[in-house]
Amino acid sequence: MLDITDLHANIDGKEILKGLSLHVKAGEVAAIMGPNGSGKSTLSYVVAGRAGYEATGGSIMLNGEDILAMEANERAAKGIFLAFQYPLEIPGVTTMTFLKAAMNAQRKQRGEEELTTPDFIKRVRVAADKLGVSQDMLRRPLNVGFSGGEKKRMEVLQMVLLEPKVAILDETDSGLDIDALRIVAEGVNALRSPDRAFVVITHYQRLLDYIVPDSVHILSAGRIVKSGDKELAHELEKNGYRDYVADAA
Amino acid sequence: MTPRPPAIRTKAETALAESFAQSRASLPGGDAVRGQRIRAFDVFHERGLPHRRIEAWHYTDLRNLMREAYPITIGGAAAPLSGLRVVIQDGVCTLPTGALPAGLKLTALRDALAGASDELVHSLFPDQGADDAMVAFNAAMARDGVLIEIAPGAVIAAPIELSFISSGDAPHGDISRSLVLVGEGARASILESHAAPTKVQRNSAMIFSVGAGASLAHVFETCAGSPELHVSTLIGDVGKDARFESFAFVCAGEVLRRQAFVRGSGEGAKIALRGINLLKGKQHADTTLVVDHAVPHGESRELFKTILDGAASCVFQGKVVVRPHAQKTDGGMKSQAILLSDDAAMYNKPELEIFADDVVCGHGATVGQLDAEQIFYLMARGLPRVQAEGMIIEGFAREALEFVGDENIRERLGAGLTDWLARRAS
């Protein structure tokens, strides 16, 4: 479903991704683990299409279609979703206004009908209830004054509503206490399906106790240096990254 | 006494002085009013048009911007409207037809001036701002405007609309002065809107007094085809435990100078001055405020949000004065601007003059571009760039709009904001 091949990317003239390849099948949950500075967040930005994070070589294919030349919004409409490590605050824009704009913008780009207001409200209510997102949060400006846990739950709510094909979770566990982590993980697990793939980027194994991956990939110095099953994550937890950091160097 | 050497006059200054000389005999008002006019004209005559060496006008050099003074017309009355809608056309007041709510009295200023009591004259020509040349010229020349009186305790639910318009195609100037007197414990709101189909230079002043425990809300709005050059002055006095709130929605007009001189003269007076500036092309808007806390326990809030595109420029000068005895004053001032173009310019100048030691006063001024991370966040959710930018700008402006108390007005201004953004995007 998501095929990244020999990806190179520079940030401010410095090469961060150095020939990264990763193939994630439909229905698969792939965990990307790696030390700080290995390029984890850069990978998520390059896939999502952030300006200034352009690839200098290689390809990113979504269901056989090259997405590298697309703007971030086009990639989103095609089914790429990035759950941000640090979700942005958008003052003055209520969460409901934002959700509706995002859902309809994607539908419009895909040539689908816009949602009716009752349909939209119903979808939000059902999803919000499951994630413990209060009506008050939905009325407030997007992420403004939200706690870390609330922001992450809001990311998952957006993911649920936007129904992506490939969801990338960038350090979604950072700053979460154990209860918030469980809620977020349940939200993700509920979305697992045979026609959806996940890329779960994390520094720690902890999140993977809740979102159990099908594959684990170690990212070091801009490349995937080892792939394995979920046992690889446990091994990392025990031994740390030092073997792989040395490898890369 | 050595005679003062004659000042060098610009063409516009000479024309304005001549217009006073020609019309002074026919200006309405008795001896007391005449005395005020002559004193005011002397102030103008001595100072001339404000220019960049006058600190309060440093960023809006009127001497340079007003190369030519259009002839000041004495217009005819407009067709009267119903409801609470007053029309000021070419500076001449037309009152609405029909009955008014209990406790509200509207009088054309020209009629009020005819038999004005000393008290009324005193209210109409306050000391605040009197040494500003444009305020002085307004005082000297204003023939008309509206006198709005709210009886003590009266609650006027609907906004009183003052619609400032102009007639004819020829370039001209118009001058008006209005007075709003809100009695103790009364409540009212005023919607002041400005339009002008032609090249118009406008000098409008609104003087107000809010009695103890009373409340006055004021909205200033520019409409499509606003005056080419507009100096708008708000001068007022807020009494004990009274409240005054003003909101400005500025998106039209070429050069606009809004200045407010507001004094909290009763303990517990609350003053709020807020607004949105949406400017593009070569538009220039200047907001200059002087909030004067004269007694203890006053509160003031200023919040201005500015969005600048093209080669537009905007000025925010906010001065808060806390006098020696005005302890426990609580002041908060904020001016925030987003520049959408390299050629746009924002001048922020907050000033605090605090002579009391037990006060809380803060100010913040920011100028920046749209945040690239915010744009990426919204684009990653599917919004095309233009829509993402529009949403961020709209949210930025709406934070101020929330303070407009009247729901209908708030919605209408919100629609104006959305329109402005849509035109920018198209």
Tens-place pLDDT, residues B189-213: 999 999 876 689 999 999 999 999 9
Tell me the shortest Cα–Cα distance from B223 to chain A, in angstroms: 24
Q: State the Rg of chain B over Cα.
A: 21
Q: Are the C-beta atoms of residues B231 and B50 closer than 8 Å to each other?
A: no
Q: Are the C-beta atoms of residues B318 and B335 closer than 8 Å to each other?
A: yes
pLDDT above 70 covers a percentage of chain B that reads: 97
CB–CB contact A90 B385 (8 Å): no
Q: How many residue pairs from chains A and B have C-beta atoms closer than 8 A? A: 83
End-to-end CA distance of chain A: give it in Å, rounded.
31
Residue B76 has pLDDT above 90, yes or no: no
Q: Which residues of A touch B396 (CB under 8 A)?
A: 91-92
Q: What mean pLDDT, rounded, does chain A reach?
A: 91
Q: Which of A49-58, A130-139, B371-380, B412-421 is most confident?
A: B371-380
Residue B1 has pLDDT above 60, yes or no: no
Identify the CATH homologous superfamily for domain A2-248: P-loop containing nucleotide triphosphate hydrolases (3.40.50.300)
Question: Chain A, 98-157: which have a CB under 8 Å from a chain B CB?
Answer: 98, 101-103, 105-106, 109, 141
> Model confidence at B4, in pLDDT bands (50, 70, 90)?
low
Distance of CA B65 to the CA centre of its chain: 19
Q: Does A87 touch chain B (CB under 8 A)?
A: yes
- Reduced to 3 states (helix: H, G, I; strand: E, B; else coil), residue A136 is helix
Q: Are the C-beta atoms of residues A54 and A70 closer than 8 Å to each other?
A: no
- The CA distances from residue A193 to A160, A183, A184, A196, B90, in Å, are 12, 18, 17, 5, 70
Residue A168, CB half-sphere, CA atoms under 13 Å: how many? 28
Per-residue pLDDT tens digits for A66-120 = 999 999 999 999 999 999 999 999 999 999 999 999 999 999 999 999 999 999 9
Residue B74 has pLDDT above 90, yes or no: no
Query: Rounded CA gap, B278 and B251, in Å?
Result: 5
Q: Which residues of A touch B376 (CB under 8 A)?
A: 48, 50-51, 72
Per-residue pLDDT tens digits for A185-217 = 888 899 999 999 999 998 888 888 899 999 999
Q: Are the C-beta atoms of residues B201 and B170 closer than 8 Å to each other?
A: no
Q: Which residues of B touch A81 (CB under 8 A)?
A: 380
pLDDT of residue A173: 83
Strand ranges inside A25-151, DSSP E: 29-33, 55-62, 65-66, 80-83
- Reduced to 3 states (helix: H, G, I; strand: E, B; else coil), residue A213 is coil
Looking at the DSSP bridge assignments, the partners of residue B274 are: B247, B303
Structure tokens at B220: 């200033």
Dihedral angle over CA of B57, B59, B63, B67, nearest 10: -150
- Reduced to 3 states (helix: H, G, I; strand: E, B; else coil), residue B126 is coil
DSSP secondary-structure letter at B426?
A: -
Query: Rounded CA gap, B243 and A224, in Å?
Result: 65
Residue B405 has pLDDT above 80, yes or no: yes
Nearest CB neighbour to A90, from listed B385, B387, B392:
B392
How crowded is residue A166: how many other Cβ atoms within 10 Å of its Cβ?
25
pLDDT of residue A248: 45
pLDDT of residue B340: 95
Q: From B220, B187, B205, B178, select the one nearest B104 (Cα to Cα).
A: B187
Q: From B159, B153, B142, B160, select the one nearest B72 (Cα to Cα).
A: B142
Q: Which residues of B touch A (CB under 8 A)?
A: 371-374, 376-385, 387-388, 391-392, 394-399
> Model confidence at B41, in pLDDT bands (50, 70, 90)?
very high
Structure tokens at A135: 């009506």
Nearest CB neighbour to B382, from listed A84, A88, A102:
A102
pLDDT of residue B170: 87
pTM: 0.89
Q: Are the C-beta atoms of residues B373 and B343 closer than 8 Å to each other?
A: no
Per-residue pLDDT tens digits for B113-134 = 988 899 999 999 999 999 999 9
